[in-house]
Chain A
Amino acid sequence: MNNATVFLIDDDPAVRDAIGLLLSLRGLRTQSFVSAGAFLETYQPTWCGCILSDLCMPVTNGLELQQALRDRGILLPFVVFTAHGDVQTTRLALKGGAFDFLEKPVDDDVLLDVVKNAISQDLRRRDADDLDRSAHSKLERLTPREREVLDLVAQGLSQREIAAKLDISPRTVEVYKARMMEKLQCRTIADIVKSAIAAATFR
């Protein structure tokens, strides 16, 4: 889990210390914050792992922190860790996209399981983001003409039909298609279709 970290936010120093100690003994990196504000001030986009946050805190409570994370596009999985077990707040937290809900005091095996699941979800999301990013950068290297050819090939048109549509010779279409496939590192029609779908999402 490389540099994945559990970001522990709780206003109670004993809880921060004890949970931090327990997670580190179970082989997880942890970083503690005394408040939601303290977390938001030090946050770096490179951080990965998950947030384990109390709900009932002075100044900014857990639900408000959740909102702040959404506003800033911080996608770290949010695990609610509360001593309140309040049904309504639980519902709001889960509706607000919380990854899971843990009631204090918690069984350490359950805590570990939930936290590990949250971390692996974050890592999966990051991998998927990386893939998207590389597909995107490849697409950006295409000329407008090559891009047109990509879309039409993906629609299932033959070389001759594309030539008629773009009002160029089939021979020229073949050149564009070869250059496009090389830039996108495509070998088959299936690869082209995949790239076209990715292209559609970036348009």
Chain B
Amino acid sequence: MSGANSALDGGALIEVQYFLVTLTLTGLILGATVAERASAIHRFASKEAEQRALLEAAPDAVLAMDLSGQITAANDAAVLLFGAPSAIILGSSLERWLPELALSDRDERRRLSGARASGERFPVEIACVRLTPPAPEGYLLIARDTTEQDQAQIQLRDRDAALSRAMRFALAGELAAALTHELNQPITALVSYLKAAEILVGPSETHDPRFIETLHKAKVEALRSSGVLKRLREFYRAGAAEITRVDVGALARESLAAFSDRAARMGVDLQLDIACAQEVSTDKIHLQMVLHNLLSNALDALADTDCGSRRIHVALTATDTRVQFVIADSGCGVPTEILGELFEPFVTSKADGMGLGLSISRSLMRSQGGELRLISSTPAGTRFMVELPIRPVMRYVA
């Protein structure tokens, strides 16, 4: 019996041992699961806190909506954007704030018009996504006010448009002036030849009286064509300067900034030294055009220079009566064969150049009592000088 007993006992022992092992294992697994769960809860909580902080800190408005479009969450930026306390925003329909937006299953990113609590409309850029399980079903929307950005862009566009309009006008003016000069020479010869012919023909008894009359008519027509040129020229000259007080230092900075990308791409060291804080009575756009032109020329001149030694240096100084810009580059210099007539129209060293930039720039500066000069040009660099009177100079009227 004892054997059977012991056998039984042996079997029971094993069972107990199994049981204990199972128990231990279960306990271990259970313990691990509990610990896991606790840490998961903790992780979740900290993640949520982090996300909430992220939402609150976001500079853009963030909104969550349920499927019906009712707002379920909004951050501080949303409160600022729509100008309403969160108590009003929460629970309201998104349509009230973004009437042009129809929520759909498709993710969206676009610009539209928003409405503040005051009823004011404003431009806004939005990104909207459809949330699907496991997230609670609904929508998440991010909105950004683009009023300032739009205004800055409009300003920039206006300035560019004004600059290019002025440039086109000056270009046409310079062309008209060049044309006037080139055509007035032969017209002068023509008029004088016709008058000489009148004298040579002598008194009318000896020939058909219509002869002198005809010569005279020809002379009148030649003079008329010259008059047309003169009016054409005056039309463009009348697009005269608009004189305001211009901070030349700020203008110089602006002009250089416009070239900073191009300079960086070419590896050009672009430097500006402003030794005076001076306001000058001048036409801002004209001065801008001149600096633009000189800087653009300077960059062109650097194209064939070693990358390591590409430099442009602009210095602004002032005396009691005048301000002076010196624009120096380390480029290849002006070809000697065009040095003498550098400021004449249609003179250029560039394959695709019109040869009007310097000619226009000089005309613009001189028309305001200023000057544009080449100071020096060597194969190691070129220096131009722009000078303007601080006080306006009365334009001499012929």
In whole angstroms, what is the CA distance A18 to B395 when docked?
34
Residues of chain B lying within 8 A (CB to CB) of residue A83: 180-181, 184-185, 188
Q: Which residues of chain A are near B181, meaning CB under 8 Å? A: 56, 83-84
The answer on a CB contact under 8 Å between A104 and B184 is: yes
| Cβ-closest chain A residue relative to B396 | A91
Q: Is the CB of A25 within 8 A of B199?
A: yes
Question: Quick one: given A18-B189, A87-B397, are A105 and B226 in contact (CB under 8 Å)?
Answer: yes
Q: How many residues of B contact A (CB 8 A)?
A: 30
Q: Digit string of B192-223 for contact with A (CB within 8 Å is 1, else 0)?
A: 11011001100000000000000000000011
Query: Is B191 at the interface (CB under 8 A from chain A)?
Result: yes
Q: How far is the CB of A103 from chain B (nearest CB, A)?
A: 8
A97 proximal to B (CB < 8 A): no
Inter-chain contact A84/B180, CB cutoff 8 Å:
yes
Which residue on B lies nearest to A17, using beta carbons?
A: B189
Interface string of A1-41 (1 = CB under 8 A from B): 00000000000101101110110011000000000000000
Chain B residues 208-261 with CB under 8 Å of chain A are 222-223, 226, 230, 233
Contact A85 B188 (CB under 8 A): no
Q: Does B187 lie within 8 Å of A58, measured CB to CB?
A: no
Chain A 68-92, CB within 8 Å of chain B: the 1/0 string? 0000000000000001111110110
Tell me how far the C-beta of A139 lies from the nearest C-beta in chain B, rounded to whole angstroms. 44
**Shortest Cβ distance from residue A123 to the other chain B in the assembled complex, whole angstroms:** 25
Q: CB < 8 Å: which of B180, B186, B340, B366 contacts A59? A: B340
Cβ-based interface call for B398 (8 A): yes
How far, in whole Å, are A106 and B185 apart by their CA atoms in the complex? 11
In whole angstroms, what is the CA distance A161 to B195 when docked? 71
Give the residue name and chain of the A residue nearest to B178 (CB): A84
Q: How many A-B residue pairs have CB under 8 A?
A: 80
- Report yes or no: A87 in contact with B395, Cβ–Cβ below 8 A: yes
User: Using Cβ atoms and an 8 Å threshold, which residues of chain A touch B90?
Assistant: none
Q: Contact check: which of B184, B195, B395 meets A22 at CB < 8 Å?
A: B195
* Majority secondary structure, B binding face: helix
Q: Are B193 and A21 in contact (CB under 8 A)?
A: yes
Q: Which of A25, A56, A105, A106 contacts B200 (CB 8 A)?
A: A25
Range for the number of chain A residues in contact with chain B: 20 to 34
Contact (Cβ within 8 A) B185 A87: no
Q: Is the CB of A18 within 8 A of B199?
A: no
Per a CB cutoff under 8 Å, which of B185, B196, B398 touches A21? B196
- Specify which chain B residues have a CB less than 8 angstroms from the CB of A88 in the assembled complex: 366-367, 396
Q: Are A14 and B185 in contact (CB under 8 A)?
A: yes
CB pair B185 A108 closer than 8 Å: no
Interface residues of A in 84-120 (CB under 8 A from B): 84-88, 90-91, 104-106, 108
B189 with A14: CB separation less than 8 A:
yes
Q: Mark B358-398, 1 if CB is under 8 A from A, else 0.
A: 00000000110000000000000000000000000001111
Q: How far is the CA of A200 from the CA of B188 in the complex (A)?
A: 50
In the assembled complex, the Cα of A114 lies from the Cα of B275 at a distance in Å of 50
Given contacts A15-B188, A18-B196, contact A105 B180 (CB under 8 A): no
* Given A19-B192, A25-B200, residue A87 in contact with residue B341 (CB < 8 A): no
Q: Give the shortest distance, in Å, between A65 (CB) and chain B (any CB).
A: 15
Please report the C-alpha to C-alpha distance between residue A33 and residue B187 in the assembled complex, in whole angstroms: 20
Report B249 CB to chain A, min CB distance, Å. Answer: 27
Contact assessment for B396 and A90 in the assembled complex, using a CB-CB cutoff below 8 Å: yes
User: With contacts A26-B199, A56-B181, A105-B223 known, is A87 near B396, CB below 8 A?
Assistant: yes
Q: Taking the nearest CB of chain A, how far is it from the CB of B241, in angstroms?
A: 13
- Report whether A104 and B188 are in contact in the complex, using a CB–CB cutoff of 8 Å: yes
**Interface check B177, CB cutoff 8 A:** yes
Is B195 touching A108 in the complex (CB atoms < 8 A)? yes
Q: How far is the CA of A19 from the CA of B191 in the complex (A)?
A: 9
In Å, the complex CA distance between A14 and B185 comes to 8
Contact B187 A104 (CB under 8 A): yes
Q: Which residues of A contact B341 (CB under 8 A)?
A: 58
A85-B230, A108-B195 given; A19·B188 CB < 8 A: yes
- Determine the residue in chain B with the shortest Cβ distance to A102: B188
List 19 contacting pairs A-B, 8 Å CB cutoff, sorted by A.
A12-B185, A12-B189, A15-B189, A18-B191, A21-B193, A22-B195, A25-B196, A25-B199, A25-B200, A58-B341, A59-B340, A90-B396, A90-B398, A91-B396, A104-B185, A104-B187, A105-B187, A105-B223, A108-B195
What 7 additional pairs, Cβ within 8 angstroms, besides A19-B189, A59-B340, A105-B184?
A14-B185, A18-B191, A18-B192, A22-B192, A84-B181, A87-B398, A105-B188
In order of increasing CB-CB distance, the 8 nearest A-B pairs are A83-B184, A14-B189, A18-B192, A18-B189, A105-B188, A104-B188, A105-B191, A91-B396
Residues of A whose CB lies within 8 Å of any CB of B are 12, 14-15, 17-19, 21-22, 25-26, 56, 58-59, 83-88, 90-91, 104-106, 108
Interface positions of B (Cβ within 8 A of A): 177, 180-181, 184-193, 195-196, 199-200, 222-223, 226, 230, 233, 340-341, 366-367, 395-398
